[in-house]
Structure formats: C-alpha cells, structure tokens
Amino acid sequence: ETGVTQSPTHLIKTRGQQVTLRCSSQSGHNTVSWYQQALGQGPQFIFQYYREEENGRGNFPPRFSGLQFPNYSSELNVNALELDDSALYLCASSSEWRGGWETQYFGPGTRLLVL
C-alpha cells in the first residue's frame, strides 16, 4: 500500500460526457502526476502538478485538465469523452521534485470505460 488513493475505482460514461477523477496523495507529498494506461500499453504521462501549479504536460489535448488543491489532492477532468479515452488512469504522488531523484508512488487507478 502506497497511501495514494483514487476514486472512483471504476466508471462508465458515454461519448461526449465529462468525467472527474480524484486522487489523494501520500502524506508529505506535494507533487501529483497523472498517467493514462490503455490496455496492453505502458502508462503515458498526462501532466504533473507541483504546489497547485501545472509543472509539465505530455501530449494530451486541452480537454484533459487538472487541479491540485491546497492539501495536495488532485483532480483530472476530461471533457467531450471519446471512445479512445477508455483506459486505466493512474495518479502518482512524490515529494518535492529535485531533478528526478524522487520516487513516484502510484495509486490503484480508476478504470474508465467510454461507450
């Protein structure tokens, strides 16, 4: 157990809808990263938040957006859902990013199915 929690565990939506996924980071961690993992693939980096500011973004369209709150928990929002958005969404928390030395601790993920 890493201490990183995600909700919900599973979610079914239809095309065009919007979804919000939530992540509570491990105690003492101020950085949260979000990843999308399609079936049979490795995780792909969506974006990272550090002290409530976006701190890096992968190759995902603007309809993927996020927030980090003062308690360092985070949300991932996806608008105008497409079938290809069906995936496991993972969040990972870490302590202050210092040139990559800090380990990321992953939550169990939210499995999103878009019909």
Partner 1 sequence: SQQGEEDPQALSIQEGENATMNCSYKTSINNLQWYRQNSGRGLVHLILIRSNEREKHSGRLRVTLDTSKKSSSLLITASRAADTASYFCATEPQGGSEKLVFGKGTKLTVNP
Contact 64, 78 (CB under 8 A): yes
Q: Is 27 in the site for partner 1 (CB under 8 A)?
A: no
Q: CB 76 → partner 1: shortest distance, Å?
A: 15
Q: Is 66 in the site for partner 1 (CB under 8 A)?
A: no
Among 26, 68, 74, 104, binds partner 1 (CB under 8 A): 104
Among 45, 65, 67, 86, binds partner 1 (CB under 8 A): 45
The 3-state DSSP class for residue 83 equals helix
Spacing of C-alpha 12 from chain mean position: 17
Positive or negative, the Cα torsion across 2, 3, 7, 9?
Answer: positive
- Tell me whether residue 12 or residue 16 sits nearer to partner 1 (CB atom): 12
